[in-house]
Structure 1
Amino acid sequence: MINRVLIRLKIVQIIYAYYQNGGKNLDTAEKELFFSLSKAYDLYNYLLLLMVEVTKYANKRLDAAKSKMVPTQEDLRPNTKFVENRFIAQLEVNRQLNEFASSQKKTWENEGDFVKKLCEQIMESDIYKEYMASETSSYEEDREVWRKIYKKIIFNNAALDEVLEDQSLYWNDDKEIVDTFVLKTIKRFDPKNGDKQELLPEFKDEEDQEFARRLFRRTILNADYYRHLISEGSKNWDLNRVAVMDVVIMQIALAEILSFPNIPVNVSLNEYVEIAKLYSTPKSGGFINGTLDGIVNQLKKENKLTKN
């Protein structure tokens, strides 16, 4: 699940914090990097559990309606299509998800007010109303309605952002990327797999894990060389006056460009220009792109840059 886009973002965050804290302990910073990546995987599982919790709350609403002093016919014979959603039923018994909930002791039980409001928001949506009014019923429709609900209602949700911020300092920065993993997981679910449906693994393979470790260490251990290149490549600027985040981003970009011959230069440049737009000043993207482009061209002239 953890891809290189997320790894790069995490490395930028951790290395910036490393220098802000005096740059004293490389091993501790590396542990913090992998801990923050594991928290992103926790968020992935936690958001999957949210869909189950919303469905449970919807079911409780139906039970409460039946218990009213004077229930209506609608209360006594409700449309149970939403609470009997087959995709959610499969997700609820998923072995990996239940193992996560048990081992990490993560539930939505303490966020009852938020779950209630989210459920009400879903039930007021056109997506929900069209689904409930449809005369057809299939696993594919059950899965698709949750893909739509997630994309339109959960993906960009300010109230959810507040809940996540209270629980982890890492999660709001991670959520946009993790949301894409949740949507991908919904699409992958197959009823034939039952409770053994595989969720996305924490790391796709050992290569990505090694990419994270190597990029992190090369960035710090070769810092003097990379900063020399940045200083030479931005002669019209006093390096001490360049935004610290810009220097950190360029330092990591150079570590990637020089340490991973299989990654095309333009891929690395584009990734770090996008990160600069997120984490630095409005003009940083153009400045970083121009500076790194000049450094790369100079390294090529000096035969110091080899790419497969």
Structure 2
Amino acid sequence: MQILYAFKGGESDNFNKDQKFLLQSIDGMYHLYLLLMSLLIEVHKKAEINIEKTQKKLLATKEDKDPNKKLIHNEVFLMLRKDTALLDDIEKHKITNWQLDDEYVDILFREILASDLYAEYMQTKTSTFKEDKDFVVDVFKEIVAPNEKLYEYIEDKNLTWLDDLPIINTAILKILKKVKQNSNPTHFVPDLYKDEDDKKFAIDLLKKTILNQTTLNAEIEGKTKNWDADRIASIDYILLKMGICEMLNFSSIPVKVTINEYLEIAKEYSTPKSSVFINGVLDKLVKEYQEGKKLNKIGRGLL
């Protein structure tokens, strides 16, 4: 959607740069994932350093000398730190942000120490794997993901990451919730694409939408005759083109799924009334396509 919004060419223009940017943007999502996972690792390292400093205090108390090491013994944090596949990818992507901008590690670490989550977790000196996992999940969900300073930092580093952040945060939570003591060695290194068809879909949707602009525009104009073109939001026009293109050219995607996806995107990026407008146009077209047998869907229940 963003690439089509910025695209000023026609059907005959070369759009290799746009396709390259699409793939780079998707790859950037994995970079953001690694950035946040490496942040968790650095926060845990900070906890370890903090205990070492406390033990070496000149006027150390009994509690300082024999601190509760439950946090640094947290099994999930240790799994992250020992995951060679994850660490290799972090190194390959040259993620050194938290060594250079370590104040963000300090901010999050202090917030964790001041939280009720931490106080409750540290009431005992031992824990089960489930308790360790629940703590890490809650820390990410309640302290890391909603942190405003971290949000501003990510915005400053890469503006497109702001759209990716909710998706990546959700993915990280799912991965943390599913981890087990015997999880496979690549548990924390997910595939960026579900399969090659997933990647191909992204490229094909961009290509087919650009290459069929004249036809798609005509379809939209035929169902918006009572609308002044200037009154239709640019984003709405793009989402309609993508939606129509998807319905006509991707036989394995159910019509209802297509419509619902674009309505959700409209709610997020366009005007308050956009989803109603888009739904009305697509609904009219679907009925017309069904009557003309233009929807060639494969599989049961895809209409």
Query: What TM-score do you get using the length of structure 1 for normalisation?
Result: 0.91
1:33 to 15, 19, 22: 22
Residue type of the alignment partner of 1:300: Q
1:154 matched to 2:144? The reply is yes
Aligned residue for 1:202, secondary structure, equals: coil
Residue in 2 that maps onto 1:165: 155
Aligned to 2:301: none
**What amino acid is the match of 2:180?**
D
| Deviates further, 228-237 or 125-134 | 125-134
Residue 203 of structure 1: aligned partner:
193
Q: Once structures 1 and 2 are overlaid, which stretch shifts more, 80-89 or 126-135?
A: 126-135
Corresponding residue number in structure 2 for 1:256: 246
CA positional deviation for 1:175: 0.6
Deviation at residue 32 of structure 1 after TM alignment: 0.3
Query: What value does the CA root-mean-square deviation take over the aligned residues?
Result: 1.8
In structure 2, the CA distance between the partners of 1:22 and 1:60, relative to structure 1 (3 Å rule), is: farther
Cα deviation, 1:239-279, whole Å, max 9, x if unaligned, reads 24311111011111111111112211111111101101111
Residue 172 of structure 2 is aligned with which of 179, 182, 196? 182
Find the aligned partners of 2:92 and 2:265 in 1 and give their Cα distance.
33
Distance between the aligned counterparts of 2:172 and 2:272, measured in 1? 30
Q: 2:217 aligns with which of 227, 232, 245?
A: 227
Q: Which amino acid aligns with 1:120?
A: R
SS of equivalent to 1:191:
coil
**Structure 1 residues 294 and 232: CA distance shift in structure 2, 3 A:** same
Shift of 1:105: 1.1
CA distance in 1, matches of 2:36, 2:85: 14
| Structure 2 gap segments, 5+ residues each | 299-303
2:243 counterpart letter in structure 1: A
Rounded Cα–Cα distance in structure 2 between residues aligned with 1:134 and 1:239: 65
Quick check: 1:114 aligned with 2:92? no
Aligned partner of 2:257: which letter? Answer: V
* Gaps in structure 1 of 5+ consecutive residues: 1-11
Q: Which residue of 1 aligns with 2:264?
A: 274
Q: 1:189 to 1:210 in 2, by over 3 A?
A: same
**CA 1:196–1:202: 2 relative to 1, 3 Å:** closer
Q: Secondary structure at the match of 1:70?
A: coil
Q: Secondary structure at the match of 1:71?
A: coil
CA shift, 1:49, in A, is: 1.2
Under a length normalisation based on structure 2, what TM-score does the superposition of the two structures give? 0.92
Equivalent position to 2:60, from 43, 64, 71: 71
Q: Is the 8 A contact 2:70 2:126 kept in 1?
A: no
Q: Distance in 2 between matches of 1:188 and 1:128?
A: 22
Q: Name the stretch that deviates more: 55-64 or 226-235.
A: 55-64
Q: Which residue is equivalent to 1:306? A: 296
CA distance in 2 between partners of 1:36 and 1:98 (Å): 22
**Alpha carbons 1:57, 1:119 under 8 Å: kept:** yes
Larger CA deviation: 268-277 vs 72-81: 72-81
Contact 2:112 2:118 in 1 (8 A): yes
Contact 1:190 1:197 in 2 (8 A): no
Higher helix share: 1
Checking the alignment, whether the CA contact within 8 Å between 1:94 and 1:194 is kept in structure 2 is no
Mapped partners of 1:227, 1:291: distance in 2: 12
For the 8 Å contact 1:93–1:195, the answer to whether it is kept is: no
Report the count of equivalent residues: 296
